[in-house]
Structure 1
Amino acid sequence: MNSFNGNISKLEVSGNLTLAHVEVTPQLLLKAIVIDTPKTAAYLKLGQQVALVFKETEVIISTDSQIKISLQNQIPASIIDIEPGQLLSKLNLSTKAGELNAIISTNAVKTLALKAGISVVAMVKLNEVMLQAL
């Protein structure tokens, strides 16, 4: 599991859903949608420190930082190393918020010509990010 710590900077509520904006670093804002509201979950408050947790298999990799896409959680990173497998490969990434792992197909590694040292953008759908109060 990947985990970054941050502070809730904004909350948007609609019905029983809350979109939490979490400042991980001054330059990195990540979002998570949760099935709770500030009325039903005490941790949903401005300034609350939380961990954003997401699976390695939920990370999408792009080599194009200018790509127009609906994924709002975009994390600039560089590849530390790649652990290749026959079907899947694990990418160890370095970001300004800390290390991050992604598991993608080995075919995608080859197609994107991924290798240690290159810059990529790691992306995660906001509904795949879980929040944990700290």
Structure 2
Amino acid sequence: MNRLTGHIKNLQVEGQITLVTLLLVGDLEMKTILIDTPESAEYLALNQEVNILFKETEVVIGLEKTNGISLTNKIDCKVQALQRGILLSGVDLECAPGNIQAIVSTEALLEMGIESGKKVLAMIKLNEVMLSPK
């Protein structure tokens, strides 16, 4: 499980759903959508420090920035290390807010020419990001 730290920058509530904007190191913003509200989860408060959690299998790796994709959370990273398997590979990424790991198909890594030292874009769907109080 990937774990980063950030502060709640904005809360937008509709019914029982909250869109949370988070501020991480380096002025990086991430977003998540929760089936919770500030009334039902007291840690949902402006400026509250939170843990930002997401699975390694939920990280999509791209080679360049794009505005033509619906993935909201985009983090510039550098590949630190690879653990290549026959079907799946682990990718260790160095990013401003902290190191993260991704698990992607080995075939995709080879097609994209991913190797240590390469700059990539890590992307995570906002509904795959979980929060916990710090």
TM-score interval w.r.t. the shorter chain?
over 0.9
Where does residue 18 of structure 2 map in the other structure? 18
Give the TM-score, by structure 1 length: 0.97
1:69 aligned onto 2:69: yes
Q: CA deviation at 1:68?
A: 1.7
How many residues matched?
134
Cα separation, 2, equivalents of 1:82 and 1:64: 19
Residue deviations 1:31-67 (CA, integer Å, cap 9, x gap)? 1111001111101110111011000000000001135
Q: Which residue is equivalent to 1:31?
A: 31
Report 1:44-63 matches (<5 A). 44-63=44-63
Q: Which runs of 5+ in 1 are unaligned?
A: none
State the TM-score, normalizing by the size of structure 2: 0.97
Q: Give the Cα–Cα distance (whole angstroms) in 2 for the partners of residues 67 and 4 of structure 1.
A: 24
RMSD value, Cα: 0.8
Q: Report the residue type matching 1:114 in the other structure.
A: I
Instruction: Give the counterpart letter for 2:73 in structure 1.
Output: N
Regions of 4+ moved over 4 Å: none
Q: For residue 127 of structure 2, what is the aligned residue in structure 1?
A: 127
Aligned with 2:42: secondary structure?
A: coil
Q: Which runs of 5+ in 2 are unaligned?
A: none
% identical equivalent positions: 42
